[in-house]
A and B are shown apart, each in its own frame.
Chain A
Amino acid sequence: MELTGRRNEDFLEVARVLLLVQGAILAATTIEALFWSFVFPGAGGAFLLSAISAVVILAARIRLRADRRWSRRLVYIVEGSTLAAVAIDIVLAVVLVHAFPPLVALLTELALPISVIVLLRRSARPSTAFVPSGAVMRSEGVS
């Protein structure tokens, strides 16, 4: 169990680093959205949503622990909405121009959220996958 707990903490550590980078990307996106909102009057809502997402991700990064469900849930909501938007982007790109969105968009909007979700789910899951088989046998009374 101790090994499993350490493994879960390892996954959480990777998730925290990814969330920091994602939060930084969202902070930069918020600044860009602020600029665009001066150019395009209808972009104010997108600026606000970007700012909220940046704050949620950066705060969740700090508060993320195995026993804090709300932090995880907030991260899942942001990642889920990001994945929903990128799914539409991919469909539009494939249907309209028969190509995928640019490489960096796929990394930051698809690979990054999926990685965070997978890591959070694995870190929350009690597992015996990494317990040495000898230890299991001993605990079951087999010598």
Chain B
Amino acid sequence: MNQLAHLDHVVGPGGGSPLYQVSPEHVAGAIALGMVPIALWLLSRKATRRLPPVEWLLVALLLGSAAVHAGLIVGNDHGTGISALFLADAALLLVIARRVLRGSPVGRLGVAVLVGSIVAYWASAVSGESPDQLGLATKLGEILALAIVLRSAARSRRLGSFARGLAVCVLMVGTATSAWVGAFRASAAEPGAVAGHNVHSGSVPPPGTIFPEVTERDATPAERVAANDLLLTTRAALARYADPTVAAADGYQVSGLAGIDFHAGNPAFEHDDRVFDPAHPESLVYGVAPNGQPVLLGAVFLMPKIGEPGPTIGGPLTAWHAHENICISLTPLALSGLLSPLGTCPVGSILLPRTPEMIHVWIVPGAPSPFGDLDEAWKRAYLQAVATRP
């Protein structure tokens, strides 16, 4: 029986999320940013008044942001309207920098331009424009510049200082949140949808996931047969692990089995040099039905080394993926998230830059994508059905 009749090609563009890269259309902005130290050096030679270090920092941040925006006029492909906005932003930032150099107050204009620039970035991200490293670095610089601009207003009053701190925190949280939303929306199939971590139809992969470069095409009949055979073979080979005690006897770490997506790894199988052996998957995936019954949903197969491509037995139907920028907590040793758009992992964590390639095989009957991501709602519905089965 063909288990894959409903599947078409499932792989989108390869590579990782732009969230952790510098977008090609922003390279001109990065080059312009490289000119800022020269401009600062020239300004320091011509400066007629002694600027305290904090004001030099402000000038550097304003010039940096202006340079990036000016560079984006060259590099962006969003039309003349957006280019005009970049130009206006760059010009206003330069006006503020000039005021700082001359010792004039920058108060309201500075706050308005910087907050406007940051909020415009949020709007762009939330509308589905994937954020990148240069954009995020620029926004961090603008938030720092805003903290400096606000300091003179808040210097004398405790409440003012608190309000300034709160404003900076709100802008930082807003920037991180909008960047997450933008990165996931850009990778999702439709506006408002959130991409699964293997199958996606958006223009880019979701954060934390790397897809290999695979031509977007339909599977050939031979590949469909191969993928179907693989699914049936795996289903038969793993049937014995429906009982978690059998899996535990074979070395799978099933203690603490809970939730709808419990991965029970087998450290011995991770180093046994067997590649994509249906009888020896590196991890089993269990879900617990509402009545407490553990249900074997599928398995995860891992390649032995980072960067080693997995065998695509079913062509585009069996595309492997890897994960990138994973945070690993040391207190205790466990997954603790993905690298934030702000460049941080939760404190006490280290950053794992990339994992070996992996593939899921979902052995439960009727799984919508047997080699991709299994939708949470589908998993819950399936486990509910198992619990109510007579």
Contact = CB atoms under 8 A, between A and B. Distances in A.
B144 A103 contact: no
B347 A29 contact: yes
A27 B172 contact: yes
A116 interface: no
Interface string B5-34: 000000000000000111000000000000
Nearest to B165: A20
B352 to A, nearest CB: 7
A109 B345 CA distance: 9
Nearest to B350: A88
A21 interface: yes
A63 to B, nearest CB: 12
B344 A24 contact: no
Contacts, number: 187
Given A13-B52, A17-B54, A28-B173, A92 B147 contact: no
Given A40-B336, A92-B353, A13 B172 contact: no
B54 A92 contact: no
The majority secondary structure among interface residues of chain B is: mixed
Interface residues of A, number: 57
Q: How large is the interface on B (under 10, 10 to 19, 20 to 34, 35 or more residues)?
A: 35 or more
A89 B161 contact: no
B331 interface: yes
B347 A18 contact: no
Given A24-B171, A40-B335, A104 B342 contact: yes
Interface stretch (B67-75, B120-128, B132-140): B132-140
B367 interface: no
Interface string B337-367: 1111111111111111110000000000000
The majority secondary structure among interface residues of chain A is: helix
B337 A43 contact: yes
Contacts of B329: 42-43, 45-46
Interface string A15-54: 0111011011111111111011101111101110110110
B306 interface: yes
B274 interface: no
B346 A62 contact: no
A109 B343 contact: yes
29 contacts: A16-B151, A17-B144, A24-B172, A25-B343, A26-B344, A28-B169, A28-B175, A28-B176, A36-B336, A42-B329, A43-B334, A46-B331, A46-B345, A49-B346, A53-B347, A61-B165, A89-B350, A93-B353, A96-B306, A96-B352, A96-B354, A101-B325, A101-B339, A101-B343, A102-B133, A104-B140, A105-B339, A105-B343, A105-B351
Interface of B: 20-22, 52-54, 57, 133-134, 136-137, 140, 143-144, 147-148, 151, 161, 164-165, 168-169, 171-173, 175-176, 306-307, 325, 327, 329, 331-354
